Amino acid sequence: MATLDSLKLALRQKVAGTTSSPKQPLTDAQYNAGFETLSQGLEWTTYQNFIIPQLTLQLAGLLKSRTKLSVLEIGPGHKSVLAYLPSETRIRIARYTAFEPNDLFATSLNGWISGLPPGTHCPFPGLESPPDIRRVRFPPESSEERDIRTGYKFDEKYDLILFCHSLYGMKPKHKSIEEALKMLDERPGAVVVVFHCEGPLHLPGLVCHKTASFPTGLASVPDDDLAIDCFTQFIAGFCIQDVDANEAVLVQWREVCRALCRREKSHSGHILFSSPNVMVVFTRNTTAVRELATEVPLAKEGKVFKNREACLQHPTLVVRPTKIQQVQNCVWWALKNNVGLTVAGGGHSGHCLRSHVVSVDMEAFDQVHIVEINEQDGNAVATSCPGPLVVAGGGCKTGDIIHKTMAAGLTVPLGARPSVGAGQWLQGGIGHLTRSHGLACDSIIGAVIVSVDSGQLLYVGNVPSKYLPIDAVLAENESDLLWAIKGAGNNFGIVIQVTFQTFKAEQYLIRNWIFPLRDGSEAQLMLSKFNKIATGDLPRYLSADAYVYWEAGQLHLGVTMFESSTKYSLETNSPLYLSIGSILGPEHSVDFVDGVGLFDSEMYMSKMHGGHGGGKTSSFKRCLFLNNIGSTEVADSLLMAVETRPSSLCYLHLLHGGGAVCDIAAQDTAFGCRDWDFACVITGVWPRDQDGTESARGAVRWVYNVVDNLLPLSSGVYGADLGPDPRDAGLAAKAFGPNQQRLVRLKNMLDPCRVLKYAFPLPEAPREPKLIILVTGRSCAGKDYCAGIWVSVFKKARLTGRVVSISDVAKREYAAMSGADLSRLLTDRAYKEQHRPSLTAFFQSQVRQRPGLPKEHFQNVVSSNGDVDVLIITGIREEAAATVLSHLVPNSRVLDVCIIASEETRLFRGGKQGYNDDALKDDNGLELDYRPDHIFYHETSGNEEIKKIATKYLLPFFHKDLQKLADIVRTVADFPRRDIQFRHVLDISQRPGGLALSASLLQKHFLGIWSSISAVVACEAGGFIFASALASRVNVPLALIREAGKLPPPTVSVLKAPSHISAATPDLLNEKRIEMERNLVPRGSSVVVVDDVLASGKTLCAVLRLLGEAGINKHNISIMVIAEFPSHKGREFLRQNGFGTVATQSLLVYGGV
């Protein structure tokens, strides 16, 4: 499938070779016909999924500093894309100007914006003057005469200047951008935004503020001659002057189109083309790159970087600093101009170069120093390293380090390719010493880094004083920064050098087996045998890699076994090898190599496909972590991947893990994926001379398709390859195991201006659903059915929702162990019920071995579904599920909705006898110690009652008044002590309308009946404010709880532990007594306790105990708070103290401490 850009080239080449008749520009009518043909197809999905969302984000940023917007749009066509922005954004557009040289488009555009004909909706209702539609090209010639010729002035200033697919006819394009920049408003924030089909958009001398891509865009055209004729003339940009010659060319262009397109059943009757898009944003600082070029040396012109995708980029500048201060200059320049940088080490990363961005080439920092034991001075953090250290510059390659250390009888466990740079060590580093010595990042014990927050030179960990720059200072957050660079180092600063611990140099015995495979059955058998060897009792000094590939018309499995030893001779006939040989048979080849020779021992470099070395091919890779590759499901997926390869050069490489990788806990370094047997590298390969063609794009699509299929079976993703491609965003969520939220927090702290915005794609904030609904209840109560109906209700309310079964993970593992049919376990209720006892026993066995497994499953499900507003999870087995799980997702509201059905109803729906009929009692018939947020008795057929639950109890959490209340709450950093983000909830009462709004929301959200409530109970001080407003509103008496000694007798009192915030202040740590007047609330009454926050739960627990002393049964008490902080497990504290059945509601939910 060709891109629109390559199609244009093919159409023009066809004309050049077939006719000499003159070309002529398209008429307005021809241009309009082609534009309509294209815009009515799949091209519109690019607008929906990319252009409109990105524009919305850009204007949201502008509107933070402006109440009104002035907009200049270049070449909008007959309608402006701005009309598809949210209404609250469009109403802020006060002045609209457009350059539209197509007369048909200009007339239509003017009438449409002006509300003509009468009754037509005006897209910009906030316009303060009529739209100014200029029927000329942009920019007109030049100089002052253009004002005279066109009748327009060009000294107006605009907040937004938009080129949406309108740069195509402008030459040179960068001059048009420069002209637009002159017309930007001088206030900060004004931007020029360009949307363009991704391709040769070369804008020399211009550095962007931001760029984003949409590589999966598609265009479609009806597969009929007339439509294709309109389309091809539009794409080519001209027609032939001679009528007969033009007809002949159109016939040939139809053939070209139909040869280069793709057809899909889902788009029958249409031909499809790839239409990748890119957005580039410029500010008034766009031309400031000249300033940097005078301060930092430039890289040699024409330098070729290893990654072929990167080489297709057009960086604004590639600088090559030779001194640390020059690296600092780059950072200071980026901070001053609010732009990003990329950093190139070995050049293997696809994001070391980005179009319209400055790249910092660290090549000059390539020194490697060995520090002997007697030279080590423990400058920063003392280590227990048994041998010498290595100090390696940020521009070193793996080969540089191995050559230097080998000469000294040492080694460092790095990757397998000599030309790979620091990006690999800082983001993991998997090699053939991984099983014995760990990942490359595990050997990092210190570093010198240029901060991208300040440009300051920092050091962390152990840096020998001899190699410590004189102006380096110890980082304030040293432990955090050292933790982060051991697995995610390219995101937190520009690394000048790292300190590695070393190990004794080793020799390697390499054994290779190559198995041609007849069919899938034999392939699965061999993978199972290999998996048994690799995951058995193999010692750590042995690692076994596998390759699944296609060659000579046949599927092959290649196996390479690496034995490392510090001895000078290796045993080739040990009992272990004889045992392996009995399974795999005789080797294809045996070699002895040292650490340098190891680089050439990879099977894909010398044996597969004639060898991939020597620069004959290009490749694109993504890597997942897998366990149990011998299982039917994993093996089938691997084989299917190879069978669907776009070329015979593509392959899968399975690198052996385990061993020392697992010795380090997931949370001890940023590299959090530690539980894996194999790193599966999915490698799309194409001939080097086909870079940038459909062959290359097809290989990239294949890699992502394979990744999508394998991702549910994986235990994580290797982050070293990931970059700003939006297809990497979903992979990034699984790249750091449990560490992503900490990394996001550190990114916000250490790179707040996003100088390194094009590195590994950490989200700006953890992505979690706003609402998580845990659907609980007995088997066959109708949980999945209700969940599906609720999603449809949310969809009608324009909210995204999804139903996920948390038990699917356990079902997959059970199927792999037992041989059960996974597809039937997932879809066939009767089959699932048949296996339920065995499945339950299997899962309980896993939990006994790994008690934290249910919480892991829950976190994985949430992190994998962060793209929806509402996540509904079924299959939950935990008691008090929302209570015990909510602290794991503190930024989301978690609700437990229990579905109850009688045993008769459940049997009718396919359930089994023997289960307790009451979901609110345990299997022994005892009352449970918690209360679900909602209970739905699902006995009747039909959907109306189910929908009412969503409408009445679930949708209100998305009411705009709740967001309005949240917007009132102010955040105060580092109060009452460092690292606390204080939410000033009491400040609501000090804002106009705040107290009335909170009281209204408390009244509306209460799940009980106000007429049955005898009192609103409040504890000083926060509770008094909100409870008094509510009590007055619902006309219910207020019952006050105060510190002991402040109320006249008789009273009842209890001890109260310090609240969360009080506990953060040392002088407020003492316990105090609280009291209320005796008989203030009649015994047996129903009451509502109102407080400002629920954090640790200690204050509310004391209140509940006090009410108990006053004769109020806990079943008659409800709690309502303004804000809840789930991180502190307040609900669980209440449950542990006997108050789990007290109904507890909160208006707002906040993460953090």
Q: How confident is the model at residue 846 (pLDDT cuts 50, 70, 90)?
A: confident
Same domain, yes or no, for 333 and 394? Answer: no
Residue 172 CB burial class (10 angstroms; 0-12, 13-18, ≥19): exposed
Same domain, yes or no, for 1062 and 1034? Answer: yes
pLDDT for the residue 343:
93
pLDDT for the residue 494:
94
Whole-model pTM: value is: 0.69
The helix/strand/coil state of 65 is: coil
Residue range 673-700: mean pLDDT, rounded: 89
Same domain, yes or no, for 140 and 32? Answer: yes
Q: State which of 278, 309, 341 marks the end of a domain.
A: 278
The closest alpha carbon to 1033, from 999, 1078, 1084, belongs to 999
CA 164 to the chain's CA centroid: 27
pLDDT for the residue 567:
66
Same domain, yes or no, for 705 and 611? Answer: yes
pLDDT for the residue 614:
55
CATH label of the domain that carries residue 243:
3.40.50.150
Same domain, yes or no, for 78 and 96? Answer: yes
**Lowest mean pLDDT, pick from 391-405, 620-634, 802-816:** 802-816
CATH label of the domain that carries residue 403:
3.30.465.10
The closest alpha carbon to 862, from 840, 882, 880, 843, belongs to 882
Q: Are strands 457-461 and 444-450 parallel, antiparallel or unpaired?
A: antiparallel
365 and 462 Cβ atoms separated by less than 8 Å: no
Q: State which of 926, 955, 984 marks the end of a domain.
A: 955
- 731 in a structural domain: no
pLDDT at 419 over 90: no
pLDDT at 146 over 70: no
DSSP state at residue 267? G
The closest alpha carbon to 714, from 767, 764, 660, 678, belongs to 678
Same domain, yes or no, for 117 and 259? Answer: yes
DSSP state at residue 184? B
DSSP 910-937: T--TTS-S-TTB-TTSPBPS---SEEEE
pLDDT for the residue 866:
73
Which residue type does 539 have?
A: P
pLDDT for the residue 381:
41
Q: How confident is the model at residue 1100 (pLDDT cuts 50, 70, 90)?
A: very high
> Which residues, other chains included, contact 515 with Cβ-Cβ below 8 Å and sequence gap of 6+?
526, 556, 557, 558, 559
264 and 212 Cβ atoms separated by less than 8 Å: no
Same domain, yes or no, for 20 and 143? Answer: yes
Cα distance between residue 933 and residue 252, in whole Å: 67
Same domain, yes or no, for 323 and 208? Answer: no
- 762 in a structural domain: no
- Where do runs of H (alpha helix) occur along 397-495? 398-407, 422-426, 434-437, 478-488
CATH label of the domain that carries residue 324:
3.30.43.10
Q: For residue 488, how many other CB atoms are within 10 A of its CB?
A: 30
Cα 1016–1018–1022 angle (5° rounding)? 135
Edge-to-edge strands of the sheet including 1117-1124? 1051-1056, 1072-1077, 1038-1043, 1015-1019, 1087-1094, 1117-1124, 1143-1149
Q: How confident is the model at residue 1060 (pLDDT cuts 50, 70, 90)?
A: low
Residue range 1056-1070: mean pLDDT, rounded: 56
Q: Are strands 771-777 and 678-687 parallel, antiparallel or unpaired?
A: unpaired
The CA dihedral of 12, 15, 20, 21, to the nearest 10 degrees, is -90
Parent domain of 349: 288-361
565 and 540 Cβ atoms separated by less than 8 Å: no
- 759 in a structural domain: no
**Lowest mean pLDDT, pick from 169-178, 304-313, 450-459, 825-834:** 304-313
pLDDT for the residue 650:
92
- 740 in a structural domain: no
User: For the chain, how many structural domains are there in total?
Assistant: 6
Q: State which of 914, 936, 955 marks the end of a domain.
A: 955
Residue pointed to by tokens 């894309």:
81
Which residue type does 180 have?
A: A
For 32, 51, 162, 429, 794, the CA distances from 81, given in Å and listed in that order, are 16, 9, 10, 45, 27
- 724 in a structural domain: no
pLDDT for the residue 651:
92
Same domain, yes or no, for 396 and 408? Answer: yes
Residue range 300-313: mean pLDDT, rounded: 77
Residue range 336-348: mean pLDDT, rounded: 88
Percentage of residues in the chain having pLDDT higher than 70: 90
pLDDT at 673 over 80: yes
> Which residues, other chains included, contact 642 with Cβ-Cβ below 8 Å and sequence gap of 6+?
548, 549, 550, 555, 650, 651, 652
Same domain, yes or no, for 893 and 789? Answer: yes
Q: What is the pLDDT of residues 611-637, one digit of tens each?
A: 655 568 888 999 999 998 988 889 999
**Lowest mean pLDDT, pick from 154-163, 234-243, 807-816:** 807-816
Same domain, yes or no, for 552 and 688? Answer: yes
pLDDT for the residue 864:
65
Q: Are strands 132-134 and 218-222 parallel, antiparallel or unpaired?
A: unpaired
Q: What is the pLDDT of residues 695-722, one digit of tens each?
A: 888 899 999 999 999 998 888 899 888 8
Q: Look over the chain and give the mean of its residue pLDDT values, rounded to a whole number.
A: 85
Q: What value does the CA radius of gyration of the chain take, rounded to a whole number of Å?
A: 33
> Which residues, other chains included, contact 777 with Cβ-Cβ below 8 Å and sequence gap of 6+?
783, 898, 899, 900, 901, 919
Q: What is the pLDDT of residues 934-989, one digit of tens each?
A: 998 888 878 898 999 999 999 999 998 998 888 788 777 557 775 566 788 898 89
The helix/strand/coil state of 351 is: coil
- 1060 in a structural domain: yes
Same domain, yes or no, for 220 and 271? Answer: yes
